[in-house]
Amino acid sequence: MNVKILVAIQTALTLIITSSLYLIMIRLNEIIKKKDEKIVNVDKVLKPGIINDHYIVVLNDNATFIDEFSRTNWIKSAIDDKVENFSKITHYYSIPSYAAWNTPSESLKILNKEGNKVNNIFKGFSARLSPEMYQYFSKHPYVKYIENDVAVKVDDVIEEDINDEVPRKDNEVNAEGNVYYLSHCRWNLDRLENHDRTTNNNYIYKFSYESASNVYIYILDTGVYGDHSTFTDKIGGDVRKKRVIMGKNFVDGERNADLNGHGTHVAGIAGSTDFGVAKRANIVSVKVMGADGVGQWSNIIAGLEWSLNHLKGTSTRKGVVNLSISGPEVQSGSAAIRSVISQGLHIAAASGNNGDNACSYTPGSSSKDGVVVVGNMAEDDYVASSSNIGRCVTIFAPGTKITSASTSNNDKRVMSGTSMAAPHVAGVMALLLSVKDMTPKELYNEIRNLASRGYLRNIDRESPNLIAYIPKSAYVFDRDSLPVPPKTLDENNKEDILIVQ
């Protein structure tokens, strides 16, 4: 064969091979780039809705992490963080804590020792899974079910002008015995202590020196601005003590602070000195929502578990969770809620701002499990048109044009929504729990039994015509059972005792 022909053939083959390798490299780079982009989109740009490739895996009650790790190692062997399959566990769940981390026999011993049987065990994990790993876990005999993680947004709120909220100059606090009177407060606090609506704007809120100082209110939200002056005690005792505990931050890439404002506003309603229902409750910030107000259920479940474990480490073990969030039904979210309630954690939750049936949303559908689901009412006793309603609503509370704390320079802001209604009830629950030990079921029934009945003016047939109510027993106590409050108010330094906005 001619040498020139051989050289030509060799050159052609070299070009073909080189081109093929080049095309393969381009294709591989495209695949890796797409996977990297997919990870970035999932992890850094979170939008409400289903999160692709992220799952919550719920295990059967008889599965334990100890057994599986030590014997078959099936979770560990199935998960890695390589780019090829980008599978990685983000949270482990075990409610109660010993349910998954001890062997079944050890868990049984603990249950028998405690003398109670836990019927609502929740165990599992959340993970980013490749399609192969999803198939692996969905078919595994220890897996009860697996579902997509879901991102939700804090309840949509309406920000109102604050021009009509100018403080009156004659605001004052008077003390009679152990009961304090906050005169000329805003309508929302007054509405909680009167069956009949006050119509002359002479609003008064009565509270005790104690005011739920033995109760923890867990704000699962965007965080809490704990340095706001309204979270400082101003009545007796340590008048400069700050009452916000900066708990766990579950939002990756953000510092443990409220970068949105929603969580601080909610916390202010539940338990701040100036705006709050339970004025000396211990506020615990559990950050599960980001600066844009969006969070994922895998983090919310982790926040519920953390709150339960934190409460068990307190001396009183009296705690209320506030969930001012709403989104589509999430099976694992509802299961986790049932589990923490069975462990004694009380929950108040927003019904949602969709103008729809609360039963179609989570946590709005969880009233049947003991969650106090709260709808939004306005100053004129009309149900807000945006509030979710129906048989899954437990009770209504003020939620329209509510003034509370802001993250800006110790300022205040006005917001509306079931996000604002829920913390009113969380505060009421804290006050009732402060004076009487109750299970979540007992407190749920107490809230309904005490409610102002028949006052809502545009209620539908399925919703309860109930408005949250604070009885005198929540702020008038046996004096011998309480710390000694200040005998008189210092008229020259009144603002140091209670700043009324």
Please state the three-class secondary structure of 111-171 as a single string.
HHHHCCCCCCCEEEEEEECCHHHHHHHHCCCCEEEEEEEEEEEECCCEECCCHHHCCCCCC
The helix (H) or strand (E) run that includes residue 198 is none
Q: Does the pLDDT of residue 2 top 70, yes or no?
A: no
Question: Considering 419, 434, 452, 463, which one is annotated as catalytic?
Answer: 419
Report, as an integer, the average pLDDT of 58-73.
68
Given this model, what pLDDT does residue 97 score? 86
Rounded to whole angstroms, how far apart are CA atoms 376 and 284? 24
Q: Is 324 a catalytic residue?
A: no
Least confident of 60-69, 267-276, 362-371: 60-69
Q: Are 147 and 56 in contact (CB under 8 A)?
A: yes
DSSP string over 51-94: EEEEEEEEEPTT--HHHIIIII-HHHHH-B--TTT-BEEEEEEE
141 and 218, same domain (yes or no): no
More confident site: 166 or 302: 302
Of these ranges, 123-132, 220-229, 403-412, the one predicted with the greatest mean pLDDT is: 220-229
Catalytic one of 126, 155, 228, 262: 262
pLDDT for position 91: 92
Q: Name which of 83-97, 177-191, 229-243 the model is least confident about.
A: 229-243
Within a domain: residue 357? yes
Average pLDDT over residues 206-218: 88
Query: Amino acid letter at 47?
Result: K
**Could you give the CA distance from residue 274 to residue 389 in angstroms, rounded to a whole number?**
30
Evaluate if residue 106 carries a pLDDT over 80: no
At 253 the pLDDT is: 92
My answer on whether 88 and 184 are in the same domain is no
The DSSP secondary-structure symbol of 208 reads E
pLDDT at site 160? 57
Is residue 148 a part of any domain in this protein?
Answer: yes
Question: Of 152, 168, 197, which marks where a domain is finished?
Answer: 152
Residues 141 and 165 in one domain: no
Average pLDDT, the chain: 82
Of the candidate ranges 36-50, 141-155, 389-403, 439-453, the one whose mean pLDDT is the lowest: 36-50
User: Quick one: tokens of 424?
Assistant: 């009113």
Q: Is residue 360 part of a domain?
A: yes
Between CA 389 and CA 344 the distance in angstroms is 27
CATH number at residue 260: 3.40.50.200
Q: Are residues 315 and 377 in the same domain?
A: yes
CATH of the domain at 75: 3.30.70.80
Same domain membership, residue 431 and residue 355: yes
Please list the residues that pair with 221 across neighbouring strands.
Answer: 287
Q: What is the pLDDT of residue 455?
A: 97
Q: Which of 94, 123, 152 is the last residue of a domain?
A: 152
Domain presence at residue 215: yes
At 65, give phi and psi (nearest 5°): -65, -40
How sure is the predictor about 356, in pLDDT bands with cuts at 50, 70 and 90?
very high
Q: What is the pLDDT of residue 208?
A: 83
- Domains in the chain, number: 2
Return the higher-pLDDT residue of 170 and 160.
160
pLDDT at 94: 92
Query: At which of 120, 137, 152 does a domain end?
Result: 152
Whether residue 280 is contained in a domain is answered as: yes
Query: Beta strand pairing status for 143-154 and 325-328?
Result: antiparallel
Euclidean distance between CA atoms 328 and 237, whole angstroms? 45
Burial 315-330 (b: 16+ CB within 10 A, else e): eeebbbbbbbbbbeeb
- State the DSSP code for 349: E
Active site residue 184: no
The single residue listed with the structure tokens 């897996």 is 143
DSSP conformation letters of 442-485: HHHHHHHHHSEES--SS--SSS--EE----GGGT---GGGSPPP
Given the residues 221, 233, 258, 274, the one annotated as active site: 221
- Whether 233 is catalytic: no
Q: Does residue 307 sit within a domain? A: yes
pLDDT tier at 1, thresholds 50, 70, 90: low
Q: Does residue 271 sit in the same domain as residue 378?
A: yes
| Residues 110 and 244 placed together within one structural domain of the fold | no
> Is the domain of 276 the same as that of 300?
yes
Query: Could you tell me what percent of the chain has a pLDDT over 90?
Result: 58
- Three-state secondary-structure class, residue 343: coil
Mean pLDDT lowest for which of 98-112, 299-313, 326-340, 435-449?
A: 98-112
141 and 187 in a single domain? The answer is: no
Give the mean model confidence (pLDDT) for residues 146-175: 65
33 domain-assigned: no
pLDDT in tens, 253-309: 999 999 999 999 999 999 998 899 999 899 999 999 999 999 999 999 999 999 999
Same domain, 108 and 166: no
On whether both 369 and 239 belong to a single domain, the answer is yes
Considering the domain boundaries, does residue 23 fall inside one? no
Residue 125 lies in domain: 49-152
CA angle 301, 399, 339 (to 5 degrees): 20
**Same domain? 237 vs 162:** yes
CA distance linking residue 237 with residue 17, whole number of Å: 83
- Which of 409 and 57 is assigned the larger pLDDT? 57
**Per-residue pLDDT at 79:** 67
